[in-house]
Structure 1
Amino acid sequence: MTPMLRKGWFDRAVMAALVLLAALWMLPLLWVLALSFKPNELLMVRTDVFLAPPYTLANYADILQTSAVFRWLGNSALVAALQTLGVLVLSSLAGYGFARCEFPGRRWLFPLVLFGLAVPSQSVFIPLHRLFSDWGLQNTYAGLALPGLAAPFGVFLMTQYFKAVPIDLEEAAMLDNASRFKTFFKVVLPLTLPAQATLGIFTFLACWNDYLWPLVIATKPEMYTLTRGLASTQTNFAQSEGLGFLMAQAVFAGAPVLMIYLFFQKHLVTAVAGTGRS
């Protein structure tokens, strides 16, 4: 067997292994999707026949019959959009500053920002809640969105990506009398769109799926996000009496994020490859 033929068989074996692992990874998702179309009465008896009929749309109808569900959906979309926009703006400015600018304390400030990755968000819930309550931001969109603007991962990602951008482009723009801000907005920032898309996806996903912070800062039903609102509709015995309803809630809450991810997925590989060139 020639080396070329052996390489071909090896590539096929690796691809087959990856397909198998992907199928195993998708199986729980397919199980959740299938159970969301099953009658709750049947699921009280058994849950291992998720591919066989009967099927029903009653679980999704129960979600849509909740009068505030579209208000919660709008709250989640608005808060996630505001937080994503804020993170992109602040992380881009901070990342460019760390990558290109010299200022006092730069060498110790960047590791300090990265140290924020090691701090669990739950550990600062009490001081954050007291601070936002004193500011009168409880049950407000600002109170829901502002804590997520502190994004050490975003600063790290954008810093690495800005370092990968050739500095010759900036020098050429400055030779044409372009200011630092004009160079940043007109020359450098457009080259970081893959990283921006990646950071935007991660930020939007984290905010959309967040449950703990809306649980403590939003106490009025009209200010619930989708995760908080759907959880409030569950009974104490939802796992045994409404499994199909729970699965439908998971699908309903995850579908918008899945569509956004599929739309921007091509930027993920580009962004990761870009950070590796620094």
Structure 2
Amino acid sequence: MAMTATQGTAGQSMVGRSLGDRLILAAIIALVIVWIVPIAWIAGLSFKPNSELMASTGTLFRAPYTLKNYTDILASSGVFRWILNSVVVALGQTVGVLVLASLAGYGFARTQFPGRGVLFALVLIGLAVPEQAVIIARFQTFNDLKLHNSYLGLILPHLSAPFGVFLMTQYFKAIPRELDEAAMLDNASRFKTFWRVLLPLTVPAQATLGIFTFLAAWNDYLWPLISATKPEMFTLTVGLASTQTNFAQSEGLGFLMAQSVFAGLPVLIVYLFFQKYIVTAVAGAAIR
């Protein structure tokens, strides 16, 4: 009888667990639908003629469809220049942040120096300072240095990445110190230990940080709008916005949606290629 009671309790537990798993799965599916429907709506409208959208946006699932909105984007004389600018700025920021954050993270996690705690606290405080709070001082500084309308002017401000330093510091701290000691026993220098032993172990964290940095740089609008005043130095976000008329929402809704899809595709492609590193990094952080 005791065995029967135990089996009954176990069965009830499995039923309850199964019901709970189904509820969680249903909630996840609902959230996915809520997240993906607006994106599908934007993509669908981008293939509709603007003349038809002026009458109604409820014709999404009915013909006609057209590629004219995308050909109008490509017909713009500066669009490929804007894409090049965005690629240079996004890659420059990504590489710079990865290099500086990795070095700073290693320094905070593995070395002892006067004021280390205070300096790290200042880095964390930087997470709470919004970009808008320093935008005027930044503009004046770069204006004095004559760096506006240049790649350096677009890249340098975002190389200070407090989140990147914090992430890499925590990741380096999680690596056993025995690896450093073993490398030093083999007469490896501190830099060689960092470069050959520890840095390869942080690839998941670097990939995650790199993707987030690239995405933020690609979608950045405020600073390129302020710093780049010449059309040939526009990034894609600023360039596409400059092609919109005052009545873009009513006269060119399909064109507006096509611009959104066009600007977002490169980031989506990068994410699809590197998503496994994000999953690995998040899983590793959860385990720690």
The two structures have a TM-score, normalised by structure 2, of 0.94
The Cα of 1:252 is off from its aligned counterpart by 0.2
Question: 1:158-169 residue pairs with structure 2 within 5 A?
Answer: 158-169=168-179
> In 1, Cα distance between the equivalents of 2:57 and 2:121?
49
Relative to structure 2, which stretch is displaced further, 40-49 or 242-251? 40-49
**Which region of structure 1 is more displaced relative to structure 2, 66-75 or 261-270?**
261-270
- Say yes or no: does 1:52 pair with 2:36: no
- Which residue pairs with 1:120 in the alignment? 130
Residues 29-178 of structure 1: pairs in structure 2 closer than 5 A = 29-178=39-188
Per the TM alignment, residue 19 of structure 1 is displaced from its structure 2 partner at its CA by 1.3
What SS is found at the alignment partner of 1:8? helix
Identify which of 262, 278, 288 aligns with 1:268: 278
* Number of the residue aligned with 1:230: 240
**Cα shift readout 1:68-102 (whole Å, capped 9, x = no counterpart):** 10000010001100010000000000011111110
Q: Secondary structure at the match of 1:118?
A: coil
Return the offset for 1:273.
3.1
Displacement of 1:248: 0.2
Which structure has the larger Rg? 2
User: Unaligned 5+ residue runs, structure 1?
Assistant: none
Identity %, equivalent residues? 66
Is the Cα–Cα contact under 8 Å of residues 157 and 275 in structure 1 kept in the other structure?
Answer: no
Aligned-partner Cα distance in 1 for 2:194–2:41 = 47
Q: So what's the TM-score if we normalise by structure 1?
A: 0.97
Q: Secondary structure at the match of 2:87?
A: helix
CA distance in 2, matches of 1:19, 1:52: 27
Query: How many positions carry a matched residue from both structures?
Result: 278
**Shift, 1:277, TM fit:** 5.1
Structure 2 Cα separation of the partners of residues 162 and 50 of structure 1: 50
Does the CA-based 8 Å contact 1:39-1:54 persist in structure 2?
Answer: yes
1:193 partner SS: helix
Of 24-33 and 1-10, deviating more is 1-10
Distance 1:52 1:27 in 2: 17
RMSD: 1.2
Q: Distance in 1 between matches of 2:118 and 2:176?
A: 25
Instruction: Measure the CA separation in 2 of the matches of 1:130 and 1:156.
Output: 29
